[in-house]
Structure 1
Amino acid sequence: MASIMTNSAALTALQSLNATQNNLSTTQARISTGYRVSQASDNAAYWSIATTMRSDNQAMSTVSDSLGLGASKVDTAYTGMNSAITTINAIQQKLTGSYGQTDAAKEKTQVEIAALQQQLKGYADSATFSGTNMLSVATATGTAADVKIVSAFNRSSTGSVTLSTIDVKVESIKLYDSGAAPTAKGILDTARLGTTGAATTTAQAPTLGGPVVAGDTYSVASLAIFSGTTAASDAQISQMMTVVDAALKDMTTAATKLGAAKSSIDLQKTFTQSLMDSIDRGVGQLVDADMNKESTRLQALQVQQQLGVQALSIANGSSQSILSLFRG
Structure 2
Amino acid sequence: MTSILTNTSAMSALQTLRSINTSLSNTQDRVSSGYKVAQASDNVAYWSISTTMNSDKKALNAAADALGVGAAKVDTAYAAMESAIGAVNEIKAKLVTASEQSTDKGQIQLEISKLQEQLSAIAQGASFSGENWLVTQNTQANVVDGFVREADGTVKVTVATFNVGTYALFSTIGANGLGSGGVLGSIMSVALTSVSTQGDIDGFMNIVEAALSKMTDSAAAIGALQIRVELQDKYSSKLSDAIEAGVSRLIDADMEEESARLSAVQTQQQLAIQSLSIANSSSQNLLSLFRQ
Report which stretch shifted further, 24-33 or 167-176. Answer: 167-176
Decide which of 131, 145, 148 is 1:151's aligned counterpart: 145
The 8 Å contact of residues 120 and 173 in structure 2, kept in 1 or not, is answered as: no
Query: Given the alignment, which residue of 274, 281, 295 partners 2:245?
Result: 281
Q: What are the ranges of 5 or more consecutive residues in structure 2 without an aligned counterpart? A: 175-179
Instruction: Report the counterpart of residue 169 of structure 2 in structure 1.
Output: 175
Contact 1:81 / 1:255 at 8 angstroms: preserved in 2?
yes
What's the CA shift string for 1:266-294, capped at 9, x where partnerless?
A: 00000000001111110010001011111
| TM-score, scaled relative to structure 1 | 0.85
SS of residue in 1 equivalent to 2:189: coil
Q: TM-score, normalization: structure 2?
A: 0.95
Is the CA contact (8 Å cut-off) linking 2:60 and 2:240 kept in structure 1? yes
The answer to which structure has the higher helix fraction is 2
1:116 match: 115
SS at match of 1:154: strand
Give how far 1:323 is off. 1.9
1:32 matched to 2:32: yes
User: Offset of 1:233 from its aligned partner?
Assistant: 2.1
Name 1:59's counterpart in structure 2: 59
Quote how far apart the aligned CAs of 1:231 are.
2.8
Deviation readout 1:195-250 (Å, 9 max, x if unpaired): xxxxxxxxxxxxxxxxxxxxxxxx20132012xxx632221111110111010000
Q: Which residue of 1 aligns with 2:191?
A: 224
For residues 45 and 256 of structure 1, the distance between their equivalents in structure 2, rounded to whole angstroms, comes to 49
- Which secondary structure state, in structure 1, belongs to the residue aligned with residue 187 of structure 2? coil
- The answer to whether the aligner puts 1:327 opposite 2:277 as a matched pair is no
Is the contact made by 1:152 and 1:163 (CA closer than 8 Å) also made in structure 2?
yes
1:188 matched to 2:184: yes
Q: Number of matched residues?
A: 287
Shift of 1:327: 2.3
Aligned partners of 2:71 and 2:286: how far apart in 1?
87
1:78 offset after TM fit, Å? 0.6
**Contiguous gaps of at least 5 residues in structure 1:** 190-218
- The residue correspondences of 1:1-328 to structure 2 (distance < 5 A) are 1-101=1-101, 105-137=104-136, 139=137, 144-178=138-172, 185-189=181-185, 219-226=186-193, 231-328=195-292
- The Cα RMSD (Å) is 1.5
**CA deviation map 1:172-213 (0-9, x unaligned):** 210001289xxx930011xxxxxxxxxxxxxxxxxxxxxxxx
Which deviations, in whole Å up to 9, do the C-alpha atoms of 1:128-184 show, x marking residues without a partner?
1111111112x2xxxx2422111110011221111111112101210001289xxx9
Cα separation, 1, equivalents of 2:27 and 2:6: 33
Deviation at 1:320, TM superposition (A): 1.1
**Residue type of the alignment partner of 2:24:** L
CA distance in structure 2 between the partners assigned to 1:318 and 1:169 by the alignment: 90
SS at match of 1:221: helix
Residues of 2 paired with 1:225 and 1:187: CA distance? 21
